[in-house]
Amino acid sequence: MDDVDARLALNRPVGSGRPPPEVRRAGCDLPEDLTCTFRPIGVVHSPWKWREDAPRQGTVGPAAVGAIVLHRQRDGVGLQNTLQDLKGFSHLIVLTWFHHSHGWAPQIIPPRDRQKRGLYATRAPDRPNPIGLTIVEVVDIYGVRIDIRGHDLLDGTPVLDLKPYIPAYDSFPAARAGWVDTLADPGPDHRDSRV
């Protein structure tokens, strides 16, 4: 099977069976010692200092306000111009570094569940690469500051990147939510008292 056939074999409906043996044998072709270095572009200002204080998702509970403040310069270039034309977008995708992460485990019991789930089937903040993704409402932008609403970010969270939320590309109303869709008798939510 050549590379084209392998790509075509992977382009089939979800759940249609196992891939061919040639594709199953393909391994990760990245060196195990490969590292990636990130330099934050800014920081989050938030009412929450600790994970236990923040909602488990930005859409749970009252919509909290906060701000993202970019560094004034990066590599000698002013970052205020990077926010040009962002005012027309109502929402923003924010990629962050979970700076309070405590290591990780391959399986965890998520909130509202009663059994262990594979880490990548959850939104737990403790991950091999503690990268966070949240979607926030843009309230206002001036200079290198973005006022936001509806977030779950901690004060001092390093911001890695910002991307505009575009409903035509980023919204999947018919998407399935795996095990979350099957919760008939949800377990306790460790944040119920906070919402």
**Phi and psi at residue 91, to the nearest 5°:** -135, 160
Cα–Cα distance between 179 and 111 in angstroms, integer? Answer: 12
According to CATH, the superfamily of the domain at 37-165 is YaeB-like (2.40.30.70)
Over residues 50-84, the pLDDT tens digits come to 877 777 776 677 788 999 999 988 888 888 889 99
Is residue 193 very low, low, confident or very high in pLDDT (cuts 50, 70, 90)?
Answer: very low
Q: Return the sign of the alpha-carbon dihedral for residues 164, 165, 169, 170.
A: positive
Check if the beta carbon of residue 91 is closer than 8 Å to that of residue 80: no
To the nearest whole percent, how much of the chain has pLDDT over 90?
44
CB 9 within 8 A of CB 20: yes
Average predicted confidence (pLDDT) for the chain: 83
The span from the CA of 46 to the CA of 157, in Å, is 9
Q: Is the pLDDT of residue 160 over 50?
A: yes
pLDDT at 2 over 60: no
Q: What is the pLDDT of residues 19-28, one digit of tens each?
A: 776 666 667 7
Q: Classify 26 as helix, strand or coil.
A: coil
Considering only residues 122 and 139, tell me which one the structure prediction assigns the higher pLDDT. Answer: 139
Res 182 pLDDT > 50: yes
Work out the burial of residue 88: count CB atoms within 10 Å of its CB; fewer than 13 is exposed, 13-18 middle, 19 or more buried: exposed
DSSP line for 157-177: PEEEEEEE--HHHH--TT---
Neighbours of 104 (CB within 10 A): 14
Euclidean distance between CA atoms 146 and 144, whole angstroms: 7
